[in-house]
Amino acid sequence: EAEKTISEMRMRAIRRASLDVTGGKISVMVAGEPAWHGLGVNVAEAVTAADAIRLANLGWEIVKLPLYFEQGDTLKLATGRYALVRRDTGAYLNHVGPKYAPIQNAEAFSFLDEVIGKHNAKYETAGAIHGGRKIWCQVRMPEQSFSLNGRDQVDAYAMFTNSHGDE
């Protein structure tokens, strides 16, 4: 009975947070204190971009494919519209126009590395929600932290989010 209750509570937390559970793994990595839901991979301290991608199950790519629709018994090309699909699962995520260029998860982390690389930053959280439609990563920048009046510690963070398919 206790196992059943714990399992139900876990599923409620996954739904409430809209966590991506593709492939049976929860796509969340947290360094230090666990997240409010206690799910995903928890590590003792902040990690590198490569570790964050691996631990948060974000090593997949997005492909932009022609979009078709059914009209009667015929498939027709949706002119000027494309489907964004996860390469690992084939799951449809969204539709976009011809100018949209997907930003791969690894590219997003690489971009953040370039921006904050000189500040000795480390990844503290990363993950995906809504089946991978949205990803995020958050880094702590210890060299940018300071204290107010010598008492109140202010820690500096940078966050990157990407919505696969929002134009």
3-state helix, strand, coil in the chain (%, to 5): 30, 40, 35
Q: Mean pLDDT across the stretch 146-162?
A: 88
pLDDT tens sequence across 16-41 = 888 999 888 899 999 988 888 888 89
Q: Mean pLDDT across the stretch 98-109?
A: 91
Q: Is 158 exposed, middle or buried (0-12, 13-18, 19+ CB in 10 A)?
A: middle
Element at 126 (helix H, strand E): strand 122-129
Cα 27 to its chain centre, rounded Å, is 7
Confidence label for 81 from pLDDT (cuts 50, 70 and 90):
very high
